[in-house]
Every structure is written in structure tokens, then in C-alpha cells.
Amino acid sequence: MAVTITETAAGHIRKCLSDRGKGEGLRVKVKPSGCSGFSYVLDFADEVASGDHVFEQHDVKVIIDAEALDVLDGSEVDYVTQGLNSFFRFNNPNVKDECGCGESFNV
């Protein structure tokens, strides 16, 4: 089981944690949502809970709870800029289908 982080995503996470003045890393969860099944939930983690899985690359941690690990296994977390918008993008090999707006996905 693994989740990878691109250098660009790591740089953005480091900057956000620095701006906050605290934090262990980026917490990623999935929740039932939308028309396709799941959506990603992102937050900054101030601590690592028991049962969390921590993936570290480029001196940054991505923290995933046990419930989301099967859905996110093999994913790459990237940070992209398209026009005026910047956002985290998940390259998740488990996704079978996405809704038209791109907000939810099915595995």
C-alpha cells in the first residue's frame, strides 16, 4: 500500500504548513458524496492518530486514515495550476468513473 507525493505538491504543503505555523502534514480522507460515490476531503493534520498511515516524500507527510487507504492505494498527490486556479490533483489508479463535474468518483 502506498501513496506518493510530487515535488510540486510537497512544496505547496510545506508552504501551507509554514503559513499555519504548525502541522504534521496533509490529511486525506474520502467520504461518500456526489453522484459517483466518493469525494476527497483535505485538511492539515496537527497530529497523527493511531491507525493513520503516513507516507513521506520530499520532507512532507501525507496522512491517510485506515478507512481511506484501500481507495487511495497507488495514488499520486500532485498540485497543479490551470489558468487562475490551483488545486491538489489525485492521480488515482483505482478510479473507475468520475461524475461530469469532476467532484466525485467511483472505485
What tens digit of pLDDT does each residue of 24-82 get? 999 999 988 766 688 889 999 999 999 999 999 999 999 998 889 999 999 999 999 99
C-alpha cell, 34: 456526489
